[in-house]
Amino acid sequence: MIKQARSFFLFLIVTFCLTYNLVEAKELREKKYDLSISAIFKNEARYFKEWIEYHRLVGVDHFYLYNNGSTDNFSDVLTSYIQDGTVTLINWPDGQVPPDNKKELYSWVYYTQVPAYEDACRRSAKETTWLAMIDIDEFMVPISSPTMKALLEKYSAAPGIMLYWHLYGTSGVLTLPPQKLLIEVLHMTARPEAALNKRVVKSIVKPDLYKVFSWPPHVCVFENGEKAICLEKSEAKLNHYVNRTVDYFLSFKVTKKEHMDNRKLSAAEIQSWMNVGNEVEDQERTILRFVPTLRRQMGYN
Protein backbone atom coordinates (compact mmCIF):
# COMPACT_ATOMS: atom_id res chain seq x y z
CA MET A 1 0.00 0.00 0.00
CA ILE A 2 2.80 2.43 0.89
CA LYS A 3 4.53 1.70 -2.43
CA GLN A 4 1.28 2.27 -4.32
CA ALA A 5 0.66 5.52 -2.45
CA ARG A 6 4.16 6.75 -3.30
CA SER A 7 3.66 5.86 -6.95
CA PHE A 8 0.32 7.66 -7.02
CA PHE A 9 1.82 10.72 -5.30
CA LEU A 10 4.68 10.75 -7.81
CA PHE A 11 2.14 10.47 -10.62
CA LEU A 12 0.29 13.54 -9.28
CA ILE A 13 3.51 15.56 -9.07
CA VAL A 14 4.54 14.66 -12.62
CA THR A 15 1.04 15.39 -13.93
CA PHE A 16 1.00 18.79 -12.19
CA CYS A 17 4.44 19.75 -13.55
CA LEU A 18 3.54 18.73 -17.07
CA THR A 19 0.23 20.58 -16.91
CA TYR A 20 1.91 23.71 -15.51
CA ASN A 21 4.58 23.67 -18.20
CA LEU A 22 2.00 23.17 -20.94
CA VAL A 23 -0.09 26.07 -19.63
CA GLU A 24 3.01 28.26 -19.35
CA ALA A 25 4.12 27.35 -22.89
CA LYS A 26 0.61 28.01 -24.17
CA GLU A 27 0.61 31.44 -22.56
CA LEU A 28 3.96 32.23 -24.18
CA ARG A 29 2.71 31.08 -27.57
CA GLU A 30 -0.54 32.97 -27.27
CA LYS A 31 0.81 36.47 -26.69
CA LYS A 32 -1.17 38.72 -28.99
CA TYR A 33 1.83 40.53 -30.45
CA ASP A 34 5.35 39.61 -31.49
CA LEU A 35 6.70 43.16 -31.61
CA SER A 36 5.24 46.34 -30.15
CA ILE A 37 6.43 49.91 -29.60
CA SER A 38 6.03 52.12 -26.55
CA ALA A 39 6.43 55.86 -27.07
CA ILE A 40 5.56 59.00 -25.12
CA PHE A 41 4.40 61.91 -27.26
CA LYS A 42 3.22 65.51 -27.30
CA ASN A 43 1.76 67.26 -30.36
CA GLU A 44 2.90 64.73 -32.98
CA ALA A 45 -0.26 64.60 -35.11
CA ARG A 46 1.55 65.80 -38.24
CA TYR A 47 3.99 62.87 -38.10
CA PHE A 48 2.01 59.99 -36.61
CA LYS A 49 0.64 58.32 -39.73
CA GLU A 50 4.00 58.01 -41.52
CA TRP A 51 5.66 56.71 -38.35
CA ILE A 52 2.97 54.13 -37.60
CA GLU A 53 2.60 52.91 -41.19
CA TYR A 54 6.36 52.64 -41.60
CA HIS A 55 6.73 50.52 -38.49
CA ARG A 56 3.87 48.27 -39.53
CA LEU A 57 5.86 47.66 -42.72
CA VAL A 58 8.88 46.48 -40.74
CA GLY A 59 6.90 44.10 -38.56
CA VAL A 60 5.45 46.06 -35.63
CA ASP A 61 2.08 44.68 -34.51
CA HIS A 62 1.01 47.15 -31.84
CA PHE A 63 1.72 50.58 -30.33
CA TYR A 64 1.39 51.69 -26.70
CA LEU A 65 1.25 55.47 -27.02
CA TYR A 66 1.48 57.78 -24.00
CA ASN A 67 -0.10 61.19 -24.52
CA ASN A 68 1.87 63.77 -22.55
CA GLY A 69 -0.51 66.74 -22.74
CA SER A 70 -1.02 67.12 -26.50
CA THR A 71 -3.12 70.06 -27.72
CA ASP A 72 -3.12 69.27 -31.45
CA ASN A 73 -5.51 67.01 -33.42
CA PHE A 74 -3.71 63.78 -32.55
CA SER A 75 -7.00 61.98 -31.81
CA ASP A 76 -8.18 62.57 -35.40
CA VAL A 77 -5.13 60.65 -36.64
CA LEU A 78 -5.16 57.91 -34.02
CA THR A 79 -8.89 57.12 -33.80
CA SER A 80 -8.93 54.57 -36.62
CA TYR A 81 -5.82 52.85 -35.24
CA ILE A 82 -7.38 52.67 -31.78
CA GLN A 83 -10.60 51.26 -33.19
CA ASP A 84 -8.87 48.50 -35.16
CA GLY A 85 -6.69 47.55 -32.17
CA THR A 86 -3.38 48.78 -33.57
CA VAL A 87 -2.93 51.46 -30.88
CA THR A 88 -3.45 51.48 -27.12
CA LEU A 89 -3.68 55.13 -26.02
CA ILE A 90 -2.76 56.07 -22.45
CA ASN A 91 -3.13 59.56 -20.99
CA TRP A 92 0.17 60.39 -19.28
CA PRO A 93 0.53 63.88 -17.75
CA ASP A 94 3.81 65.12 -16.32
CA GLY A 95 4.76 63.36 -13.11
CA GLN A 96 4.90 65.13 -9.77
CA VAL A 97 8.43 66.40 -9.17
CA PRO A 98 9.42 66.60 -5.49
CA PRO A 99 10.03 70.22 -4.35
CA ASP A 100 13.73 69.60 -3.74
CA ASN A 101 14.16 68.24 -7.29
CA LYS A 102 12.33 70.90 -9.30
CA LYS A 103 15.56 72.38 -10.64
CA GLU A 104 17.16 69.01 -11.30
CA LEU A 105 18.44 68.53 -14.85
CA TYR A 106 16.35 65.97 -16.75
CA SER A 107 13.62 65.91 -14.07
CA TRP A 108 11.04 65.27 -16.83
CA VAL A 109 12.97 62.15 -17.83
CA TYR A 110 13.05 60.83 -14.26
CA TYR A 111 9.48 61.64 -13.25
CA THR A 112 7.54 61.38 -16.54
CA GLN A 113 9.37 59.45 -19.26
CA VAL A 114 10.88 56.59 -17.24
CA PRO A 115 7.63 55.91 -15.33
CA ALA A 116 5.86 55.70 -18.70
CA TYR A 117 8.36 53.06 -19.88
CA GLU A 118 7.91 51.12 -16.65
CA ASP A 119 4.13 51.24 -17.03
CA ALA A 120 4.44 50.05 -20.64
CA CYS A 121 6.51 47.03 -19.58
CA ARG A 122 4.03 46.07 -16.89
CA ARG A 123 1.05 46.70 -19.17
CA SER A 124 2.44 44.73 -22.11
CA ALA A 125 4.24 41.87 -20.34
CA LYS A 126 1.51 39.33 -21.06
CA GLU A 127 0.61 40.78 -24.46
CA THR A 128 3.81 41.19 -26.46
CA THR A 129 7.07 39.26 -26.81
CA TRP A 130 9.20 42.29 -27.70
CA LEU A 131 8.69 45.96 -26.79
CA ALA A 132 10.70 48.75 -28.43
CA MET A 133 11.18 51.92 -26.40
CA ILE A 134 11.63 54.67 -29.00
CA ASP A 135 10.35 58.15 -29.90
CA ILE A 136 8.09 59.38 -32.70
CA ASP A 137 11.05 60.92 -34.56
CA GLU A 138 12.91 57.58 -34.60
CA PHE A 139 12.56 54.83 -37.20
CA MET A 140 13.88 51.27 -36.70
CA VAL A 141 15.69 50.18 -39.87
CA PRO A 142 16.50 46.49 -40.41
CA ILE A 143 19.61 46.05 -42.55
CA SER A 144 20.53 42.35 -42.60
CA SER A 145 16.90 41.13 -42.45
CA PRO A 146 13.78 42.14 -44.38
CA THR A 147 11.92 43.23 -41.22
CA MET A 148 12.61 43.92 -37.57
CA LYS A 149 10.43 40.95 -36.66
CA ALA A 150 12.61 38.65 -38.78
CA LEU A 151 15.74 40.14 -37.21
CA LEU A 152 14.47 39.53 -33.68
CA GLU A 153 13.95 35.85 -34.43
CA LYS A 154 17.76 35.55 -34.45
CA TYR A 155 17.88 36.84 -30.87
CA SER A 156 15.06 34.84 -29.34
CA ALA A 157 17.31 33.73 -26.45
CA ALA A 158 18.27 37.31 -25.51
CA PRO A 159 16.36 39.42 -22.96
CA GLY A 160 16.74 42.46 -25.18
CA ILE A 161 18.68 44.15 -27.95
CA MET A 162 19.87 47.73 -28.43
CA LEU A 163 20.10 49.81 -31.60
CA TYR A 164 22.52 52.66 -32.25
CA TRP A 165 21.26 56.05 -33.38
CA HIS A 166 21.87 57.18 -36.95
CA LEU A 167 21.36 60.94 -36.66
CA TYR A 168 19.68 63.02 -39.39
CA GLY A 169 19.51 66.82 -39.56
CA THR A 170 17.05 69.22 -41.19
CA SER A 171 18.92 68.98 -44.53
CA GLY A 172 18.04 72.67 -44.89
CA VAL A 173 14.40 71.77 -45.55
CA LEU A 174 12.17 74.60 -44.31
CA THR A 175 8.95 72.61 -44.15
CA LEU A 176 7.80 69.17 -45.29
CA PRO A 177 6.27 69.45 -48.79
CA PRO A 178 2.72 68.11 -49.30
CA GLN A 179 2.55 64.37 -50.05
CA LYS A 180 6.21 63.88 -49.20
CA LEU A 181 7.55 61.54 -46.55
CA LEU A 182 9.93 62.76 -43.88
CA ILE A 183 12.20 59.79 -44.53
CA GLU A 184 12.48 60.51 -48.27
CA VAL A 185 13.13 64.25 -47.91
CA LEU A 186 15.76 64.38 -45.16
CA HIS A 187 19.09 63.00 -46.38
CA MET A 188 21.83 64.84 -44.48
CA THR A 189 23.33 62.99 -41.53
CA ALA A 190 25.94 63.29 -38.83
CA ARG A 191 29.31 61.74 -39.61
CA PRO A 192 29.51 58.02 -38.72
CA GLU A 193 32.17 58.75 -36.11
CA ALA A 194 30.04 61.44 -34.39
CA ALA A 195 29.67 60.83 -30.65
CA LEU A 196 25.85 60.73 -30.75
CA ASN A 197 25.99 58.03 -33.45
CA LYS A 198 28.41 55.88 -31.46
CA ARG A 199 27.15 56.26 -27.89
CA VAL A 200 23.36 56.61 -27.90
CA VAL A 201 21.29 53.42 -28.03
CA LYS A 202 17.61 52.57 -27.66
CA SER A 203 16.26 49.28 -26.34
CA ILE A 204 13.94 46.56 -27.60
CA VAL A 205 13.16 44.42 -24.57
CA LYS A 206 11.20 41.40 -23.49
CA PRO A 207 8.88 43.21 -21.06
CA ASP A 208 8.23 40.13 -18.93
CA LEU A 209 11.96 40.10 -18.06
CA TYR A 210 12.17 43.82 -17.28
CA LYS A 211 13.38 44.86 -13.82
CA VAL A 212 14.18 48.57 -13.97
CA PHE A 213 15.43 51.23 -16.38
CA SER A 214 18.85 52.67 -15.63
CA TRP A 215 20.70 55.66 -17.03
CA PRO A 216 20.49 56.53 -19.89
CA PRO A 217 16.72 56.03 -19.50
CA HIS A 218 16.46 53.74 -22.52
CA VAL A 219 18.74 51.07 -21.05
CA CYS A 220 16.98 48.21 -19.26
CA VAL A 221 18.15 46.01 -16.38
CA PHE A 222 16.62 42.53 -16.46
CA GLU A 223 15.36 40.28 -13.68
CA ASN A 224 17.71 37.41 -14.53
CA GLY A 225 20.83 39.59 -14.58
CA GLU A 226 21.37 39.03 -18.32
CA LYS A 227 22.49 41.81 -20.61
CA ALA A 228 20.90 43.12 -23.78
CA ILE A 229 22.86 42.61 -26.99
CA CYS A 230 23.98 45.77 -28.77
CA LEU A 231 23.65 45.23 -32.51
CA GLU A 232 26.11 46.39 -35.11
CA LYS A 233 24.75 48.90 -37.62
CA SER A 234 25.25 46.30 -40.32
CA GLU A 235 22.28 44.48 -38.75
CA ALA A 236 19.96 47.31 -37.81
CA LYS A 237 19.99 50.96 -36.78
CA LEU A 238 17.67 53.64 -35.50
CA ASN A 239 17.26 56.60 -37.83
CA HIS A 240 16.74 59.61 -35.59
CA TYR A 241 15.34 62.66 -37.39
CA VAL A 242 16.35 64.78 -34.46
CA ASN A 243 15.12 68.21 -35.61
CA ARG A 244 12.91 67.21 -38.53
CA THR A 245 12.54 70.42 -40.59
CA VAL A 246 13.68 73.97 -39.89
CA ASP A 247 10.18 75.24 -39.09
CA TYR A 248 9.53 72.31 -36.73
CA PHE A 249 12.81 72.93 -34.93
CA LEU A 250 12.14 76.65 -34.43
CA SER A 251 8.46 76.25 -33.54
CA PHE A 252 8.51 73.13 -31.37
CA LYS A 253 11.86 71.44 -30.83
CA VAL A 254 13.51 74.16 -28.75
CA THR A 255 10.57 74.36 -26.36
CA LYS A 256 10.38 70.55 -26.07
CA LYS A 257 14.09 70.24 -25.35
CA GLU A 258 13.98 72.97 -22.71
CA HIS A 259 11.05 71.20 -21.06
CA MET A 260 12.87 67.85 -21.10
CA ASP A 261 16.16 69.32 -19.83
CA ASN A 262 14.41 71.59 -17.31
CA ARG A 263 16.47 74.63 -18.34
CA LYS A 264 16.63 77.46 -20.89
CA LEU A 265 18.94 77.00 -23.88
CA SER A 266 21.27 79.82 -24.84
CA ALA A 267 21.21 81.31 -28.35
CA ALA A 268 24.54 79.61 -29.08
CA GLU A 269 23.18 76.25 -27.92
CA ILE A 270 20.08 76.64 -30.09
CA GLN A 271 22.17 77.44 -33.16
CA SER A 272 24.53 74.53 -32.48
CA TRP A 273 21.64 72.11 -31.95
CA MET A 274 19.92 73.21 -35.18
CA ASN A 275 23.08 72.27 -37.12
CA VAL A 276 23.25 68.75 -35.67
CA GLY A 277 23.08 66.06 -38.33
CA ASN A 278 23.68 68.33 -41.33
CA GLU A 279 27.26 67.24 -41.89
CA VAL A 280 27.37 64.73 -44.76
CA GLU A 281 25.10 63.29 -47.43
CA ASP A 282 23.68 59.88 -46.52
CA GLN A 283 25.22 57.56 -49.11
CA GLU A 284 23.53 54.33 -48.03
CA ARG A 285 19.91 55.51 -47.69
CA THR A 286 18.88 52.03 -46.57
CA ILE A 287 15.47 53.20 -45.40
CA LEU A 288 14.47 54.26 -48.90
CA ARG A 289 13.64 50.68 -49.93
CA PHE A 290 10.46 51.04 -47.86
CA VAL A 291 9.39 54.32 -49.48
CA PRO A 292 7.35 53.03 -52.48
CA THR A 293 5.14 50.79 -50.32
CA LEU A 294 4.90 53.40 -47.58
CA ARG A 295 3.78 56.05 -50.04
CA ARG A 296 0.99 53.74 -51.21
CA GLN A 297 -0.07 53.11 -47.61
CA MET A 298 -0.13 56.85 -47.01
CA GLY A 299 -2.33 57.35 -50.09
CA TYR A 300 0.26 59.48 -51.87
CA ASN A 301 0.52 59.53 -55.66
Residues 159, 220: Cα–Cα separation, whole Å? 10
Give residue 300's pLDDT: 94
pTM for the model = 0.87
Cβ neighbours, 10 Å, residue 280: 14
For residues 89-115, give the mean pLDDT.
Answer: 84
Q: Is 271 exposed, middle or buried (0-12, 13-18, 19+ CB in 10 A)?
A: exposed
Whether residue 5 is predicted with pLDDT greater than 70 in this model: the reply is: no
Task: Give the whole-number percent of the chain exceeding pLDDT 90.
Answer: 64
Closest C-alpha to 120, from 63, 69, 50, 177: 63
Cα distance between residue 252 and residue 249, in whole Å: 6
Comparing 64-73, 91-100, 135-144, the range with the smallest average pLDDT is 91-100
Q: Of the candidates 225, 242, 237, 241, which has an alpha carbon nearest to the alpha carbon of residue 201?
A: 237
Q: Specify the pLDDT at position 4.
A: 56
| Burial of 123 (C-beta count, 10 Å sphere; 0-12/13-18/19+) | middle
The 10s digit of each residue's pLDDT in 244-283 is 999 998 888 888 777 777 788 888 888 888 888 899 999 8
Quote the pLDDT of residue 225.
85
What domains, with CATH codes, occur in the chain? Answer: 32-298 (3.90.550)
pLDDT for the residue numbered 97: 82
Confidence band of 103 (pLDDT split at 50, 70, 90): low
pLDDT(12) > 60: no
pLDDT digits (tens, 9 = 90+) for 142-176: 999 999 999 999 999 999 999 999 999 999 999 99
pLDDT in tens, 281-295: 998 899 999 999 999
With beta carbons less than 8 A apart as the criterion, state whether 155 and 241 touch. no
In terms of C-beta density within 10 A (0-12 exposed, 13-18 middle, 19 or more buried), how is residue 30 classed?
exposed
- Of the pLDDT bands very low, low, confident and very high (cuts 50, 70, 90), residue 107 is confident
pLDDT at 274: 82
Exposed, middle or buried: residue 249 (CB in 10 Å: 0-12, 13-18, 19+)?
Answer: buried
pLDDT band at residue 83 under the 50/70/90 scheme: very high
- CB of 148 within 8 A of CB of 192? no
Confidence of residue 186 (pLDDT cuts 50, 70, 90): very high
pLDDT at 40 over 70: yes
Over residues 206-229, the mean pLDDT reads 87
Quickly state the pLDDT bin for 37 (edges 50, 70, 90): very high
Rounded to whole angstroms, the Cα distance separating 101 from 200 reads 25
Q: What is the pLDDT of residue 213?
A: 84
